[in-house]
Amino acid sequence: MQVAADIHAKVTNVLVKVLVVDKDQVTPTTVVQRDLGADSLDLLEIMFHLEQEFGIEIPPGELFPGSMLWIGAELVQDGKLTDKGLAELRSRLPYADLSSFEGDRRLSAVPDLFTVGLVGAYVGWKLDRSAGSDKQPCPASSDCSGRQPTANRNDSPQCTG
């Protein structure tokens, strides 16, 4: 399996190429849409280039779920995700550490979850799955060095290095 630094470097190169941004703008906490200006067509192109770069298949809606998640009043009320909505988001983003999102469940904040770190965590998760690993994915807030995440939560995935 590729190490986290290699994954981050390749993800960065894809984002620089597709979005025509400077490499120094791309950090693990950079939000792909807000900070780098990616639109929906850019997201499709990013997925295509990630597939090519890493030899993985990215099914529609797996990396960037899109609006299909928000249909139904049982998922969103008063502009915030309900418990069921948060559970749905977790099921759609099993590679993501959503602990920071639990307190602020604003639907408008969901696009800010998609950071460069989250994209790297997704790629690591896909590579682990394709290798037949049953390990948990590294949270996007982690460097995936094998150290435990700083928040000691029972429902947070552990790093697998």
pLDDT band at 2 (very low <50, low <70, confident <90, very high): confident
Query: Which amino acid makes up residue 134?
Result: D
Residue 19: inside a domain: yes
Residue 87: inside a domain: no
Residue 102: inside a domain: no
Residue 39 falls in the annotated catalytic set:
yes
Residue with the bigger pLDDT between 67 and 16: it is 16
CA–CA dist 106, 132 (Å, integer): 35
Q: What is the pLDDT of residue 142?
A: 43
Residue 119: inside a domain: yes
Residue 10: inside a domain: yes
pLDDT digits (tens, 9 = 90+) for 67-76: 645 567 888 8
* Domains contained in the chain, number: 1
Asked whether 158 and 149 are in contact (CB, 8 A), the reply is yes
Residue 104: inside a domain: no
pLDDT band at 3 (very low <50, low <70, confident <90, very high): confident
Residue 40: inside a domain: yes
- Which CATH number characterizes residue 117's domain? 1.10.1200.10
pLDDT digits (tens, 9 = 90+) for 104-154: 899 889 899 999 999 999 999 999 988 764 444 444 444 443 333 333 333
CA–CA dist 132, 113 (Å, integer): 27
pLDDT digits (tens, 9 = 90+) for 27-74: 999 999 999 999 999 999 999 999 999 999 999 889 988 764 556 788
pTM value is 0.77
Residue range of the domain that includes 14: 4-64+111-130
The residue annotated as part of the active site, out of 6, 39, 83, 104, is: 39
Residue 160: inside a domain: no
